[in-house]
Every structure is written in structure tokens, then in C-alpha cells.
Amino acid sequence: MEQDALISPKEREKMKNMDIRSVCREDLMDIREVSIDNSLSAEEKRQEFIRQIKNPYVYKQGDYVVKLSFSDTDLTLMDCLKEYIEHIAEE
């Protein structure tokens, strides 16, 4: 079973676009409570993570609400950090 079978494209968009300012904290899963069996395959681990966390884009980590988002770019994290450091050095 693929990840797409677990979450429809429409539901995935709804999860990605959730406004963390209006989310009910009690409805969010705490990522610290997610436990994945290391003997599972990579695909099974992804499925189990999604099953437990419910929304992989918005969840709790202790007292904090976390929202993940990804830029549509070819830049790596190292590219961004290098650009940031160069910008700071110019000031």
C-alpha cells in the first residue's frame, strides 16, 4: 500500500494548508509519542508514521505546535545557509 492510498490529494492539501493559529491543540498528536518498529520496511515505516501522527504537516512537540512546509526549489539547505552567512557578512 502506498502513502497516496493513506491520504487523498485533497486531504493532503487540507493538512498542508492548516492554519496553526486556529488549530485545536488537543486534536494534534505529539511526535514524541510516535514509536516506529525498526524492523519494518521503509514504506511500512512511512505508513505507520502517518497512521500515528495523523497529520505529518502539523503536530505537537511538547508545548509547541509545529508546522512543516517545503519550498519548491532546487536549493539545498547548505546553499541557503551559505547565502545567509554571506548576507550577514556583508552587513
Nearest Cα residue to 12 out of 61, 64, 50, 52: 50
Which helix (H) or strand (E) element contains residue 60? strand 58-61
According to the model, what pLDDT value does residue 1 have? 40
* pLDDT at residue number 2: 46
**Burial environment of residue 84 by CB neighbours within 10 A (0 to 12, 13 to 18, 19 or more):** exposed
pTM score, two decimals?
A: 0.68
Helix or strand holding residue 67 (H, E): strand 64-67
Give the pLDDT of residue 75.
Answer: 86
Per-residue pLDDT in tens (0 to 9) along the chain, 91 residues: 444 457 889 998 999 999 989 999 999 999 999 999 999 999 999 999 999 999 999 999 999 999 988 788 888 888 888 988 988 888 7
Q: Is the dihedral angle over the CA atoms 55, 60, 66, 70 positive or is it negative?
A: negative
**SS3 of residue 10 by DSSP:** helix
Q: What is the pLDDT of residue 5?
A: 56
Q: What would the grid cell of residue 77 be?
A: 539547505
